[in-house]
Structure 1
Amino acid sequence: MMEFKDVFEKFDIFNGLDETEKKHIAGLLKRMSFKEDEEIYKEDEDGGTLYFLTNGKVRICKMSTEGDILPYALVKSGEMFGLMSFVDGSKHSAIALADKDCEAVKLERRDVEELMEQDPKMAAKVYKVIAIHLAEIIRSMNNQYMDLTSYMFRKG
């Protein structure tokens, strides 16, 4: 049985990869665990890591000007986080905190960039699914923005 089989079954980013490609990707993955309220990454910290949450929940938060940590998204088991900084290599724009004890598998951007050179076809498959996932996030945000805008106009 292949290591990380659970990850390949749970996350659609790996759909379309054959067994050889999955074995190659498995060599790039690393399991991690976090205790309740442990900081996974800080705002403005170097990014470039994509996390696949395999167990538990993670709060994505922003720091208010008063210094309060305000959660704005909850990542559940079977979802990814750290996607934006993974794609563009930017610093994190939020704080990720373990909601309870949780487990994740991480994939480093630099490893995928090396993969691009070794096997561009496989890397393209992975990036295509990432692009589709980002498009879904943007579409959802656009819908939320339109809902909020129409709500404000009805109230105003």
Structure 2
Amino acid sequence: MKEDILSRVDLFSTLNKKELQEIAKNCQERTFSAGSTLFSQGDPGVALYVLTQGNVRISQANNSDQSEEVIGSAGVGEVLGEMALLDELPRSATVVAAEDVTVLVLPVWEFRSILRSHPDITLKLLAALSRRLRKAEARQHD
């Protein structure tokens, strides 16, 4: 079940069934009611989240007056918080459930353990992140 969900996530779409099962067995399912905060800007990045039900609102504090500005949203099949697992920097945004939300949570220590023991998964995830970076750079130049 979990691996089926993960296989539809862009970040994990190139992983084979065995690799997806390895990630899935380390995920925990959590639910958040509408209006609940999944994580806040500035928090340490302790987990990656995969949305399996519902939508979230993503906002960032404005540096000058600390007011929150909505910068996007995410829905089923999208990943949140993956960058903080790799660069150890604090969360760059706040994520709030716009409706009741269910997520798969992959803690950082489990994520890193998988990367250390499965180099093929690491290479595939690096390729997926590289594709995302190229797309982001291309949008900047448009």
Q: Smaller-chain TM-score range?
A: 0.7 to 0.9
Change (3 A) 1:15 1:91: same
1:102-136 per-residue CA deviation (whole Å, 9 max, x = no partner) reads 11112233322212321212222123213322332
Q: Which has the higher contact order (CA 8 A, sep 6+)?
A: 2
Verify the 8 A CA contact 1:112 1:123 in the aligned structure 2.
no
Aligned to 1:82: 81
Whether 2:56 is the aligned partner of 1:58: answer yes
- Could you tell me how far apart the structure 1 residues matched to 2:137 and 2:79 are? 15
Does structure 1 residue 19 correspond to structure 2 residue 23? no
Residue 109 of structure 2 corresponds to: 110
Contact 1:63/1:69 (CA < 8 Å) preserved in 2? yes
CA distance in 1, matches of 2:128, 2:3: 18
Q: CA deviation at 1:53?
A: 1.3
* Greater Cα radius of gyration, structure 1 or 2: 1
TM-score, normalised on structure 2? 0.84
Alpha-carbon distance in 2 for matches of 1:136, 1:115: 26
Please give the secondary structure, in 2, of the residue aligned with 1:121: helix
Q: 1:13 to 1:113 in 2, by over 3 A?
A: same
The list of structure 1 runs, each at least 4 consecutive aligned residues, that deviate by more than 6 angstroms after superposition, is none
Match of 2:36 among 6, 13, 38: 38
Root-mean-square deviation (CA), in Å? 2.0
Contact 1:54 1:105 in 2 (8 A): yes
SS at match of 1:40: strand
1:45 match: secondary structure: coil
Contact 1:36-1:100 at 8 Å conserved across structures: yes
Number of residue equivalences: 141
More helix by share: 1
Query: Which stretch has the larger CA shift, 104-113 or 23-32?
Result: 104-113
Where does structure 1 lack aligned partners over 5 or more consecutive residues?
147-156
TM-score (norm 1): 0.77
SS of 2:85 mapped into structure 1 = helix
* Code of the aligned partner of 2:49: Y
Unaligned runs of 5+ in 2: none
- C-alpha separation between the residues in 1 aligned to 2:138 and 2:49? 22
Partner SS state of residue 128, structure 1: helix
Identity value in percent: 21
